Copies of this chain bind each other. A is one copy, B any other.
Amino acid sequence: MNRRQFFKQAGVAGVGAAALAAPAIAQENPKITWRLASSFPKSLDIIYGAATDIAESVSKATDGQFQIQVYAAGEILPPLEVADAIADDTVEMGHTCCYYYIGKDPAFALGTAIPFGLNARMTNAWFTAGGGNELLNEFLAPYKIYALPAGNTGAQMGGWYRKEIKTIDDLKGLKMRIAGLAGEIMTKVGVTPQQIAGSDVYPALEKGAIDATEFVGPYDDLQLGFYKVAPYYYYPAWWEGGPTVHAFFNLEKFNALPESYKRILTDACAAANARMLARYDASNPQALRELVAGGAQLRAFTTDILDTCHKAAKETYADLSAKNEWFKKLYDSQQAFKQDAYLWTQIAEYSFDTYQMIQQRQGTL
C-alpha cells in the first residue's frame, strides 16, 4: 500500500494528513542548509577536502536533509575572516585554523599548534581524552564559536631556504615568510618575519626579496615549486608538530541542531580529522621523492638552532602565561599532557619505530 492509498483508505483528508505528518518528521529530520567557509583554496586539496568530506558525510547520513555547501577561501569570505563571519552568523560553519586568530587573543594558537607543542597523535589524544576539546570550547564560547578538530597535517617541514642554515647566526637578519607565534619566536632569534600573499611567495623567493618561507609538507610544497628557487628543505617545523584544522560552528546554531544532527556532525568531523592525516601520510612519501629528484636538499635543523629556538619559545610562553589567563590555562593543560605523553611514547612506540628505521637504512625493512 503506498502512502496515497493509505491516506485514502484511512479516510483522512489530504491536507490534514500533510499537516499532521510534518511535526513528527520536523523534530527528527529537519531540512537544513548551511554554508561552510573554508580558509583554504581548492589547490590544497587534502586540507580543503576535509570540509567536503564532512559535507558529504552529513548529507549521506541524513538522506540529504542536512546540506552543507562548501566555499573555498575567497569565494564568499577572505580566508582569515571565517571566525568573525561565524560569530555574526554570516555563515553557520567554517573550516579554518584557530591560530589564524591570535590577533584576537594569543590563546587561539593553542587550538592549532604551538612551537615545540604536541605531535599529531598527542594532539588528538589531548582533544579527545585529555580535556582539550572541552577547554578550548570554554575559551571559544565568548566568541560565539563551537569547534571540533577536523583535520591534521602531521609534523610539517621547516620550510625552504635559499642558503644553508648551519648555525643560529645564519638565521640572523633572514627574511622569512612565517606568521603567528612561530614568527614571534623567530623574531627573538633574529629572523625578520615577512607577510606576503601566497601567490607572491615564489617570485619573492626567486628574486631574493625574501630568503626563506615555510609552508606545509612535501605533498603541498611540491605543487608550489619552491625547491627550484630555495632548495634547502629543513626539518622539522618545530612550530608545527601536528597542527589541527578545525570545524568552527556558530555556537547557537550548533546548539539548536537536533541531537541526531549534532552526533552526525561530531562523528563526521572525527572521521574527517583522521582521514586528513591518513591522506597526508599516504601522499607525502611520493612527493618527498619527487622533491629530492627535483633538487631539493634535505637538511635537519641542528640541535644548537633548535635549543636556541626552544629557549625563546619557553620565554614567550612564560610571558604570555603571566599576562593571559586563557593562554596559561590551555598551555598548562597541553604541557602536562605532553610531558605524560612523551613519557609513554618513548617506550614502546619510539623504540618500535626506531628499530624499523634502522632496518630501512640497512635495506632490510
Residues of A within 8 A of B (CB): 3, 6-7, 10-12, 16-17, 19-21, 23-25, 28-29, 57, 60-63, 116, 119-122, 124-130, 154-158, 217-218, 235-238, 241, 258-260, 262-264, 266-268, 270-271, 273-275, 277-279, 281-286, 288-289, 298, 300, 303, 306, 310, 314, 337-353, 355-360, 364-365
Contacts and interface: CB of A to CB of B under 8 A. Distances in A.
B25 A20 contact: no
Contacts of A63: 28, 258-260
A262 B274 CA distance: 18
Please classify the interface of chain A as helix (H, G, I), strand (E, B), loop, or mixed, using the class held by over half of its residues.
Answer: helix
A347 to B, nearest CB: 5
Nearest to A233: B347
A182 to B, nearest CB: 14
A360 B270 CA distance: 30
Contacts of A157: 347-348
Contacts of A360: 339, 342-343, 346
A18 to B, nearest CB: 9
A362 to B, nearest CB: 10
Given A16-B10, A270-B274, A281-B122, A235 B348 contact: yes
Contact of A129 (B218, B275, B365): B275
A234 to B, nearest CB: 10
A50 to B, nearest CB: 12
A67 B262 CA distance: 18
B129 A282 contact: yes
A345 B10 CA distance: 64
